[in-house]
Amino acid sequence: MSLTVPPALLDAAERGPIDDADFVACVRDSLPYAWATVSRVVADLESGGGERADNVIPPPTEAERGQLLRALASDAIRAGLERHFGVKLAFQNCHRVAAFRPSAVDSDAYRRFISPRGQLLNQSPELRDC
């Protein structure tokens, strides 16, 4: 299961649209490793002044790896994180998540990161099973 949904939030979702803040809180509470990783990458972006920051540290366990995969593989979760943090997220492998400033989405750096070449250059024998 991707998210642990509180009964009140599930009831609200059954009745209609839900508040984005409630959804993001559910993501934060359900996927703490993914939340911490994205938060750290966004903080690095904000403090670094560049157009991108990314995580190159593999998750310590398969459980954490699963959290990151679930967060970034879900369109709804990824979009919620992007809206909350005001960034564009990009993902490679099982752990390499990058945050881009919205103004950098059409940049060479973004296009290189999301390109097939960028994906291939980010491969290594250690990451084949991730």
Report how far apart, in Å, the C-alpha atoms of 112 and of each of 57, 92, 97, 118 are.
20, 12, 14, 6
What is the model's pLDDT at position 124? 64
- Number of other residues whose CB lies within 10 A of the CB of residue 37: 21
Could you read off the pLDDT of 9-21 as tens digits, one per residue?
Answer: 999 999 999 999 9
What ranges in 74-114 are assigned the alpha helix state H?
75-85, 108-114
Share of the chain above pLDDT 90, in %: 62
d(CA 14, CA 9): 9
Could you read off the pLDDT of 31-49 as tens digits, one per residue?
Answer: 999 999 999 999 999 998 7
d(CA 9, CA 18): 8
Full-prediction pTM beyond 0.85? Answer: yes
What is the chain's alpha carbon radius of gyration, rounded to the nearest angstrom?
15
Give the pairing of strands 52-54 and 96-100.
antiparallel
